[in-house]
């Protein structure tokens, strides 16, 4: 019963997240960087990209027990799965992209640094579901990330220009 409740909650949450994703797709990119500290709606971006936190778990400063972290992970993974299902019905199956190479360990030359939003994402997540938007030069990605062990887990939507790939 617990899993079914989580699944139906995730489907309901996905509906709300779809509106945010649609808004990101429709928005023009900012002309200059707008950091997460300046955005009141959990969205930020810059030339060629947008990022949005769709959902956030509690933080883990006071309790990093396996049970607490696992419960938060399961909730966000259910939301991600529901949203991936919705996006797949729109644009087909996503490409799952490994974000590790964008960290630049293989080529630390700053000239070859990953563009945003990949530079941010590779520092908080390991992989991302990506769709190229039809009739557009943009892509949309979904991932779960965490800046550090004590920080909240975040379901993140990213929008960027196709030239990043």
Higher pLDDT, 109 or 103: 103
Q: Please give the Cα distance from 154 to 129 (Å, whole number).
A: 15
Residues ≥6 apart with Cβ < 8 Å to 43: 24, 50, 51, 52, 53
Given this model, what pLDDT does residue 35 score? 74
The predicted-structure confidence for 16-26, as pLDDT tens digits, reads as follows 889 999 999 99
pLDDT over threshold 50, residue 1 = no
The predicted-structure confidence for 79-97, as pLDDT tens digits, reads as follows 999 999 999 999 999 999 9
The predicted-structure confidence for 119-159, as pLDDT tens digits, reads as follows 999 999 999 999 999 999 999 999 999 999 999 999 999 99
Q: What percent of the chain has pLDDT over 70?
A: 82
Confidence of residue 2 (pLDDT cuts 50, 70, 90): very low
Encode 50-82: b = buried (16+ Cβ within 10 Å), e = exposed.
Answer: bbbbbbbbeebeeeeeeeebeebeebbebbbeb
Nearest to 118 by CA among 95, 136, 135, 141: 141
Given this model, what pLDDT does residue 127 score? 96
The token duo for 6 is 């989580």
pLDDT over threshold 70, residue 73 = yes
Query: What average pLDDT does range 67-74 have in this prediction?
Result: 95
**Which region among 61-65, 83-87, 110-114, 142-146 has the lowest average model confidence (pLDDT)?**
110-114
The predicted-structure confidence for 10-51, as pLDDT tens digits, reads as follows 555 667 889 999 999 999 999 998 876 655 677 889 999 999
Given this model, what pLDDT does residue 69 score? 94
């Amino acid at each position: 019963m617990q899993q079914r409740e989580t699944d139906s909650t995730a489907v309901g949450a996905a509906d709300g997240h779809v509106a945010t994703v649609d808004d990101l797709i429709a928005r023009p990119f900012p002309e200059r960087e707008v950091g997460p500290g300046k955005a009141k709606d959990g969205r930020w971006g810059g030339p060629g990209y947008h990022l949005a936190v769709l959902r956030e778990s509690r933080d883990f400063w006071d309790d990093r027990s396996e049970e607490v972290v696992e419960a938060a992970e399961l909730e966000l993974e259910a939301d991600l799965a529901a949203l991936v299902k919705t996006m797949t019905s729109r644009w087909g199956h996503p490409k799952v992209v490994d974000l590790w190479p964008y960290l630049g360990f293989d080529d630390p030359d700053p000239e070859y640094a990953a563009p945003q939003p990949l530079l941010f994402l590779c520092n908080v997540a390991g992989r991302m579901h990506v769709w190229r938007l039809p009739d557009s030069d943009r892509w949309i990605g979904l991932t779960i990330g965490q800046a550090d062990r004590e920080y909240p887990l975040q379901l993140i939507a990213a929008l960027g220009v196709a030239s990043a790939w």
